[in-house]
Amino acid sequence: MFFKINDAEPFELEQLKQLQRKGAFYFFRHDAQRNEALIVPDEMCFGQLGEKEVGRDLPLRLQKMIRARFDHSAPAWTVNHKTLDFSRGPLIMGILNVTPDSFSDGGRFYERDRAVERALQMEAEGASLIDIGGESTRPGALPVPEEEELRRVIPVIEKLRSKSDVLISVDTYKSSIARAALKAGADMINDISAAQFDEKMVEVARDFDCPIIIMHIKGTPRNMQNNPYYEDVVEEVYHYFEERIERLERAGIGKIIIDPGIGFGKRLEDNLHLLRDLKDFTFLQRPILMGTSRKSFIGKILNKEVDERIYGSLATQILAVQNGANIVRVHDVQATQDALKILKAVQYFETD
């Protein structure tokens, strides 16, 4: 990975040369007339250089970016006496829509016992997390009254918790729903608005010290696909997460997962750019969730209906994991588990 340094002072270029002599870079080229430099850090050598050796020899922002790029450690969080360990990833989050109108499986698991049965099936197939939602957020969807959303999700969470210790996420942007779900046995919050639609969501996440998934969305589910536009979707979403992470951390929230929001106020090309350049978000040093399962951009590319998008979904999930995703949110758990097992076997295969 190249790093380009613009407007470097002469003494900074000299400091970079000193690091080059210590073997910190695979590649180093500088242009004194333009005051710029191109470098490719050596992962091993840079990792072995002590803080005093690097010290002020690199601009602070560049130090942070390089260390983030080469820091392969993954967090392990204690969540309600359970462990959410990202080093065991990629983790699979199974989707459970307790709704009559979700774009893919709306109505199939609307009844409590069928929903719980489906959750247990996904756990058996390899899901580490179950994401339970009672309001559709498909393009054009209208809000559901809080009383109705509570009626849909709380009985499912309570019964599932009585039968399993699987990690449960509640998919909601309403603080009252999140609070009730966490009291009923849920472990974390999945908020499509990144705690912006309901500012009290910050208090709930802090009060329960639970992980929160923050997603990027442009607009609301009702209007998000009304001609969305970006000059640079990756840059805009990246800066959005920088701002949201900073604000949540100031509020005392540390267990933050980011979701670029595929299909939420994005054009086809925006979704593809986010998937291709997902590695850029690893610089934020937060676990990344990617939700591509059965979405319309896959249908547009393949000319397939929702229930015919499993193979396209698997392709996007493999790409997401290769590009840095720690969690994939999916409908087809068994198929995803099989695909990721093969990917992992290839990645960690060693010859004699």
Q: What is the mean pLDDT of the segment spanning 73-88?
A: 87
Q: Residue 305: left (phi > 0), alpha (psi -120 to 50), or beta?
A: beta
Strands 212-215 and 327-330: unpaired
Q: Specify the pTM.
A: 0.80
pLDDT value at position 56?
46
pLDDT value at position 71?
55
| Closest-CA residue to 106 (of 60, 148, 73, 138) | 138
Distinct helix (H) and strand (E) counts, the chain: 13, 13
pLDDT value at position 39?
72
In terms of Cβ atoms closer than 10 Å to its own Cβ (0-12, 13-18, 19+), residue 324 is middle
Confidence of residue 14 (pLDDT cuts 50, 70, 90): confident
Q: Which residue has the higher pLDDT, 154 or 283?
A: 154
The percent of residues above 70 in pLDDT, for the chain, comes to 82
pLDDT value at position 338?
97
| Closest-CA residue to 133 (of 173, 161, 184, 92) | 173
Task: Kindly tell me if the per-residue pLDDT of 53 is higher than 60.
Answer: no
Q: What is the pLDDT of residues 229-276, one digit of tens each?
A: 999 999 999 999 999 999 999 999 999 999 999 999 999 999 999 999
Report in angstroms the alpha-carbon separations of 203 from 209, 260, 286: 10, 23, 20
pLDDT value at position 99?
87
pLDDT value at position 332?
96
Confidence of residue 26 (pLDDT cuts 50, 70, 90): low
Q: What is the pLDDT of residues 119-138, one digit of tens each?
A: 999 999 999 999 999 998 87
pLDDT value at position 173?
97
Q: What is the pLDDT of residues 187-208, one digit of tens each?
A: 999 999 999 999 999 999 999 9
Q: What is the mean pLDDT of the segment spanning 332-346?
A: 95
Q: Which residues are catalytic?
A: 295, 329
Q: What is the mean pLDDT of the segment spanning 270-285?
A: 93
Can the peptide bond before residue 260 be classed as cis, meaning omega within 30 degrees of 0? no
Task: Kindly tell me if the per-residue pLDDT of 178 is higher than 50.
Answer: yes
Task: Kindly tell me if the per-residue pLDDT of 8 is higher than 80.
Answer: no
Task: Kindly tell me if the per-residue pLDDT of 160 is higher than 50.
Answer: yes
Contact present, 127 and 168 (Cβ < 8 Å): no
Task: Kindly tell me if the per-residue pLDDT of 155 is higher than 80.
Answer: yes
Q: What is the mean pLDDT of the segment spanning 275-289?
A: 92
| Closest-CA residue to 126 (of 347, 345, 342, 332) | 332
Task: Kindly tell me if the per-residue pLDDT of 55 is higher than 50.
Answer: no
Contacts of 317 (CB under 8 A, 6+ apart): 290, 292, 293, 325, 328, 330, 336, 339, 340
DSSP state for residue 95 in the 8-state scheme: E
Task: Kindly tell me if the per-residue pLDDT of 77 is higher than 50.
Answer: yes
